[in-house]
């Protein structure tokens, strides 16, 4: 164990910083939800919480060791809940409430059932890395086939809506700052996905960097949009 800690680099401590920053972000967005209400803010708060939960589990696994339960909890928090709640926030902002409720009723049971399958799955302990989270140790490898469907949904409604809003605001007078804010959100949402792809190739450190930079950019975009004066007429935006 002592030799392991000597081999750690600064990047292995990044999930701790990401978790702390997520808690800070959650405080701000939670306060805004209490002041203004809104289903979109509720879902974004839930998304920031699960984001931080995933990096907290990464910290525990990296620094103290992996277990089947910790690894499964990380997989659910990261693969299934990493972007989904944030995407639902965008759904509730951009669509009619009836449409948003329909999409929630369609996708949330899928998320919950998939999560239950993860926890019920046997574990191949020979593939469970001692200090690195991953999905290779899941005995039911078919579960990993479900992940892209969730990620595609999140990409469409989180990244896609942010890009759409950024483009739309560039065409509106005084919409420059919200265009910048939504661009930051889009880039921040993309980075963890890039890091996750590299993690599957064995470079889990790239995931830690992507998550850290991603949450900072999303928060930065949130602050830029939140404190920009309302436009008239008021168009749709990822952050309100």
Q: What are the pLDDT digits (tens) for 127-151?
A: 998 888 888 899 999 999 998 899 8
Q: Band of the pLDDT at 3, cuts 50, 70, 90? A: low
The strand ranges marked E within 35-181 are none
Closest CA to 210 of 188, 192, 183: 192
In angstroms, rounded to a whole number, what is the distance separating the alpha carbons of residues 65 and 152? 31
The strand ranges marked E within the chain are none
Q: What are the pLDDT digits (tens) for 15-33?
A: 999 999 999 999 999 999 9
Domains and CATH numbers, the chain: 2-226 (1.20.1070.10)
Q: What's the confidence (pLDDT) of residue 2?
A: 58
Ranking 95-104, 123-132, 219-228 by mean pLDDT, the lowest is 219-228
In angstroms, rounded to a whole number, what is the distance separating the alpha carbons of residues 89 and 76? 19
Q: To which residue do tokens 């005995």 refer?
A: 139
Q: What's the confidence (pLDDT) of residue 101?
A: 95
Q: Are 134 and 204 in contact (CB under 8 A)?
A: yes
pTM: 0.87
For the ranges 5-19, 33-47, 194-208, 216-230, the one whose mean pLDDT is highest: 33-47
Peptide bond into 116 cis (omega under 30): no
């Amino acid at each position: 164990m002592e030799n392991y800690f000597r081999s750690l680099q600064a990047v292995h401590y990044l999930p701790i910083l990401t978790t702390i920053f997520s808690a800070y972000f959650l405080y701000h967005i939670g306060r805004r939800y209490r002041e203004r209400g809104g289903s979109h803010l509720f879902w974004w708060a839930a998304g920031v919480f699960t984001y931080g939960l995933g990096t907290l589990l990464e910290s525990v696994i990296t620094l103290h060791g992996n277990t089947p339960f910790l690894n499964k909890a990380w997989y659910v928090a990261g693969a299934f809940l990493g972007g989904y709640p944030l995407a639902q926030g965008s759904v509730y902002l951009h669509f009619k409430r009836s449409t948003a409720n329909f999409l929630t009723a369609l996708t949330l049971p899928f998320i919950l059932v998939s999560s239950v399958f993860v926890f019920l799955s046997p574990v191949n302990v020979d593939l469970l890395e001692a200090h690195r989270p991953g999905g290779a140790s899941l005995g039911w490898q078919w579960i990993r086939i479900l992940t892209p469907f969730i990620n595609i949904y999140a990409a469409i409604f989180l990244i896609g809506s942010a890009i759409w809003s950024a483009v739309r605001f560039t065409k509106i007078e005084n919409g420059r700052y919200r265009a910048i804010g939504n661009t930051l959100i889009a880039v921040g949402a993309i980075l963890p996905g890039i890091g996750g792809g590299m993690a599957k190739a064995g470079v889990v450190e790239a995931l830690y960097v992507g998550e850290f930079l991603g949450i900072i950019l999303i928060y930065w975009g949130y602050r830029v949009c939140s404190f920009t004066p309302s436009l008239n007429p008021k168009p749709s935006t990822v952050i309100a």
